Amino acid sequence: MSLISERLKVVRPSQIKVMTARAAELRDRGTDVITLSQGEPDFDTPSVICEAGIRAIRAGQTKYTAVAGIKQLRAAIGESLRRDHGTVGCGAKQVVFNALFASLNPGDEVVIPTPCWVSYPDMVALAGGKPVLVACSERDGFKLRPEALDQAITPRTKWLMLNSPCNPTGAVYSRSDLLALAAVLRKHAKVHVLSDDIYEKLTYDADFATMAAVAPDLCERTLTVNGVSKADAMTGWRVGYGAGPLALIKAMNLIQGQTSSHTSSVSQYAALEALSGRRDHITEFARAFLERRDLVVAKLKQAKGLACRVPDGAFYVFPSCAGVIGKRTPEGNMIETDSDFAMYLLDAFAVAVVPGSGFMASPYIRISYASSPQDLTRACDRIIAACASLS
C-alpha cells in the first residue's frame, strides 16, 4: 500500500516553481542567471509597513489571533472591498483553496478561462472538483466571451473563476466585459463567481472593475479575493483575504481553523497598515511597472519569432513563441514546444521564463517584468540573441 494519497496523482508541479528552482540551481553553480519566472516585485516592503510589524512585535502582539484574522484588519478589508464578511488567509492562494475545498463536492465543475494561473486547475482537482478549461483567444484579448461561458456551464457547474488583471496575460476585464458575463450568470442561479483581484492596483491602459461591484445582484454569489503581496511588495508576509457570502466564509474559516489556523499576527498588523495607510507607494510601483512593461514590449519586438501583445495590467508579458517552433538550436536540437524554448533560454542563455503550457496555453512564454530595468534589458538582449541563433 502506497504511503502517498491517490489524490496527488491529479496535481502537477508548478512550472513557475520548476523554472525558478532550476534557475537557482544554475546560479549556485556560478551561472549569471536572470530570473523572470517568478511574480515577485523587486521592491522592498515600504518602511512604514515594516515599522508597523516591528511595533506589533515590541507591543507583544505575537500571540494567537482569531482564525479569520484580527478585527481591525477585517474591518479594513471590508472597507477596501466594500463588502461584509471578510476573512484573512496565509496568502490569497490559501483563501482560494479554502473556498474550493469548502464548496466543491466530487464531480462539481469549475469553469476556468485559459490562459490561467498555474494553480487553479490543480486546486480544483485537489478539492474533488473538475476543472473545465475554456480557451480564450488572443484575438479576444485573452478574455472569456459570454457565449463561451454559456456553452461551458452544465448542471454540475458551481464556480466561474475570474482573474483580472490576469496572470499570465495581463488582460483586464472591463465593466462591459463583466456585465456581459453577468447576463449569462443570471440564467444559471447555481453558478458562483470566484473573483481573484490580487493585481487590482496594477492597471495601466484599462480601468479596474470587479463583479461584485459591477453586478450587485450577484454579490451574494461572488467571493472576492485580494491581498497585499503584489501591490504592497509583501509576498513573504503571506497575507491574503477574501469577502463573500457568510455561509461560505464560515466554512472557509472552519477549514482554516483545522489546518493552518490564522496567518502570522505580526504580518496582520503590517497588512493593517498597508490597507489603512496612505499607500502612496502603489502609485510609484505602478509607474515603475508601466515603464518596465514598455521597455520589455519594445525589446521583444526585436526578437525574431516572438509576437508580444501589450498587457493592460499585472506585471507580465505573454508573448507567442509560435515563430520559433520547428527551428533548431546551434547544437541541432529541435524546438518543438514552448517548454523546449523556455529550457533553451535558461540552459543556453541563462534567462528563466515560464512556458505557456504551465498556464494551459501554448505556444507562449510568460515573462515577469517585476525586475530591475537593468536586468530586464540584459534578459531581453539575451532573448533576442537566442531567437537569432535559431535556424
CA separation for the pair 193, 161 (Å, rounded): 6
Whether this prediction's pTM lies above 0.75 is answered by: yes
Which residue is it, cell 509560435?
322
Task: Kindly state the cell numbers that stand for 37.
Answer: 519566472
Task: Tell me how far CA of residue 243 lies from CA of 23, 57, 192, in angstroms.
Answer: 37, 27, 13
Please name each of the domains of the chain with its CATH number: 6-44+281-388 (3.90.1150.10), 63-276 (3.40.640.10)
- How far are the Cα atoms of 60, 137, 346, 352 from residue 304, in angstroms, in the given order? 58, 22, 18, 18
What's the CA gap between 293 and 296, in Å, rounded?
A: 5
CB burial readout 221-255, b (16+ within 10 A) else e: bbbbbbbbbbbbbbbebbbbbbbbbeebbebbbeb
Give pLDDT, residue 25.
Answer: 86
What's residue 271's pLDDT?
Answer: 98
Please count the other Cβ atoms lying within 10 Å of the Cβ belonging to residue 72. 13
Residues 6+ apart with CB under 8 A from 387: 303, 304, 305, 306, 324
The secondary structure of 296-310 as a DSSP string is: HHHHHTTSTT-B-PP
Beta bridge partners of 89: 240
Q: Are 243 and 84 in contact (CB under 8 A)?
A: yes
Q: How would you class 107 by CB atoms within 10 Å of its CB: exposed for 0-12, middle for 13-18, buried for 19 or more?
A: exposed
Instruction: Return the closest-CA partner of residue 76 out of 256, 223, 274.
Output: 274
Cα gap 168→249, rounded to integer Å: 28
Report the length, in residues, of the chain.
391
The CB density around residue 155, as the number of other CB atoms within 10 Å, is 7
For the chain, the distance separating the N- and C-terminal CA atoms, rounded to the nearest angstrom, is 50
Per-residue pLDDT of the chain (391 residues; tens, 9 = 90+): 788 888 888 787 777 788 888 888 888 888 899 999 988 999 999 999 999 999 999 999 999 999 999 999 999 999 999 998 999 999 999 999 999 999 999 999 999 999 999 999 999 999 999 999 999 999 999 999 999 999 999 999 999 999 999 999 999 999 999 999 999 999 999 999 999 999 999 999 899 999 999 999 999 999 999 999 999 999 999 999 999 999 999 999 999 999 999 999 999 999 999 999 888 999 999 999 999 999 999 999 999 999 999 999 999 999 999 999 999 999 999 999 999 999 999 999 999 999 999 999 999 999 999 999 999 999 999 999 999 999 9
